[in-house]
């Protein structure tokens, strides 16, 4: 079975992990700090805080934005549930903005319309979590202008988008946002096995992120509330979470980061071949924005003339491990229990009904690619 995604591990990654296991602290050591510094440098942001997952990164980002009970957070239905769960975990209410049918990212026109209505009713969001689906950046400059007008925090969910660019800047630079979250799950651009991070430029937000990701505890005497002088003293200043990344995970991510351009380039090469071979099939292919290059975490097509379930099953039977990204969040039983239902966000729902994710990973072989193409032709022609 050819998987839809797969990690790429080389000898240097293994050697880095073994070195930490044998010679360094395996948690709360120097490798976490080194990874955070390297990520901030790569993303061209001022600060970075690592976490043990992208979901944790979303949660602490909402906490750092001050999200609490009674607040409202908006995101898109076309994402993994973590993009909405982070608000619920803070006690806030969640709502969604439908997607653009071409980019599969948030429809900025619908966002603006919803904000106008929310201003009238006095129920504006405290945070908008925008998702860079498949690695393609949202229209961040327009979103940032809306944020300044209506006074909400912007959190970029860039779990798919490390290695992407927007207006010549790396996604993660936070040029048009308050925070950006990253994910290092094995199928992402780089992996730390499990892991995530939040980048930002504001030192106050940075301090809050560090607190919330570290149980709310600081050992920095300069930040203490009380007058303590003993060297062992620490203070818990907020109710945080134990979302720390271990040094074992961090050093793997740090090693992988050295190859990030190579890994994105490999993905981009396979995408170019997909476009070369699929244009004559009854499929809707993803949009390409040459001015704002995608990181190409996913390659999702939409079936136009065939039944999606039948197509999915036939491809699986042929050894092509296709997947579907994503079941709209608002249709999940938990969110239906909050009052959402099918029909609320029709563009995301229509997209979902036809979407199939094709295999895409840096180490895909020519023979694997050819098998995917021949299988698609067999099923769709």
Contact partners, residue 118, CB within 8 Å, separation at least 6: 124, 125, 150
Q: Is the pLDDT of residue 373 over 90?
A: yes
The whole model's pTM is what?
A: 0.97
Write the pLDDT tens digit of every residue in 337-357. 999 999 999 999 999 999 999
- When pLDDT is averaged across residues 152-163 and rounded to a whole number, the result is 98
For the chain, count helices (H), then strands (E).
13, 14
Longest dimension (CA), the chain: 75
Q: How many residues does the chain have?
A: 381
Q: Determine contact, residues 329/77, Cβ cutoff 8 Å.
A: yes
Cα separation, 170 vs 133, whole angstroms: 16
Tell me the pLDDT of the chain averaged across its residues.
Answer: 97
Does residue 356 sit in helix, strand or coil?
A: strand
Q: What are 318's two structure tokens? A: 């042929």
Q: What are 235's two structure tokens? A: 């203070």
Write the pLDDT tens digit of every residue in 257-268. 999 999 999 999
Write the pLDDT tens digit of every residue in 163-201. 999 999 999 999 999 999 999 999 999 999 999 999 999
Write the pLDDT tens digit of every residue in 217-243. 999 988 999 887 788 999 999 999 999
Exposure string (b/e) for 309-331, b if CB count within 10 Å is 16 or more? eebbebbeebebbbbbbbbbbbb
Helix axes 140-150, 108-121, angle to 10 degrees: 10
* pLDDT of the residue at 228: 76
Helix axes 366-380, 308-317, angle to 10 degrees: 140
Write the pLDDT tens digit of every residue in 66-82. 999 999 999 999 999 99
* pLDDT of the residue at 85: 98
Name the nearest CA neighbour of 163 among 15, 262, 56, 53: 262
Write the pLDDT tens digit of every residue in 15-53. 999 999 999 999 999 999 999 999 999 999 999 999 999
* pLDDT of the residue at 229: 74
* pLDDT of the residue at 235: 94
Helix axes 366-380, 260-278, angle to 10 degrees: 30
Cα separation, 349 vs 239, whole angstroms: 37
Write the pLDDT tens digit of every residue in 279-293. 999 999 999 999 999
* Count of other CB atoms within 10 angstroms of residue 168: 9
Q: Determine contact, residues 247/26, Cβ cutoff 8 Å.
A: yes
SS3 content of the chain, % helix, strand, coil (to 5): 40, 15, 45
- Which domains does the chain possess? 11-257 (3.40.640.10), 260-380 (3.90.1150.10)
- When pLDDT is averaged across residues 295-321 and rounded to a whole number, the result is 98
Write the pLDDT tens digit of every residue in 313-322. 999 999 999 9
* pLDDT of the residue at 230: 87
DSSP state letter for 125: -
């Amino acid at each position: 079975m050819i998987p839809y995604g797969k990690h790429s591990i080389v000898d240097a990654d293994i050697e880095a992990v073994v070195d930490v296991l044998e010679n360094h602290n395996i948690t709360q050591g120097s490798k976490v700090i080194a990874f955070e510094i390297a990520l901030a440098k790569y993303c061209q942001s001022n600060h970075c805080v690592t976490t043990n997952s992208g979901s944790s990164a979303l949660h602490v980002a909402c906490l750092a934005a001050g999200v609490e009970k009674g607040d409202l957070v908006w995101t898109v239905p076309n994402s993994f549930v973590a993009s909405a769960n982070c608000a619920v975990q803070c006690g806030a209410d969640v709502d969604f903005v439908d997607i653009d049918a071409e980019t599969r990212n948030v429809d900025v026109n619908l966002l603006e319309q919803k904000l106008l209505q929310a201003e009238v009713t006095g129920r504006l969001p405290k945070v908008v979590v925008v998702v860079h689906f498949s690695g393609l950046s949202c229209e961040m400059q327009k979103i940032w202008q809306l944020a300044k007008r209506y006074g909400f925090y912007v959190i970029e969910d860039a779990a798919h988008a490390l290695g992407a660019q927007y207006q010549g800047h790396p996604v993660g630079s936070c040029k048009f946002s308050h925070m950006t979250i990253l994910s290092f799950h094995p199928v992402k651009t780089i992996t730390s096995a499990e892991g995530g991070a939040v980048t930002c430029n504001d030192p106050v937000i940075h301090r809050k992120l560090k607190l919330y990701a570290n149980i709310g505890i600081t050992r920095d005497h300069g930040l203490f509330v009380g007058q303590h002088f003993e060297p062992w003293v620490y203070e818990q200043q907020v109710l945080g979470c134990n979302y720390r990344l271990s040094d074992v995970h961090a050093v793997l991510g740090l090693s992988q980061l050295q190859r990030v351009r190579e890994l994105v380039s490999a993905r981009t090469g396979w995408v170019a071949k997909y476009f070369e071979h699929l244009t004559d099939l009854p499929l809707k292919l993803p949009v390409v924005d040459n001015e704002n290059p995608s990181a190409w975490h996913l390659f999702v097509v939409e079936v136009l003339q065939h039944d999606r379930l039948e197509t999915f099953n036939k491809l699986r039977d042929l050894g092509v491990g296709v997947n579907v990204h994503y079941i709209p969040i608002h249709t999940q039983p938990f969110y239906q229990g909050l009052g959402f239902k099918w029909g609320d966000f029709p563009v995301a729902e229509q997209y979902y009904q036809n979407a199939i994710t094709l295999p895409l990973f840096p180490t895909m072989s020519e023979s694997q690619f050819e098998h995917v193409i021949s299988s698609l032709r067999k099923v769709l022609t």
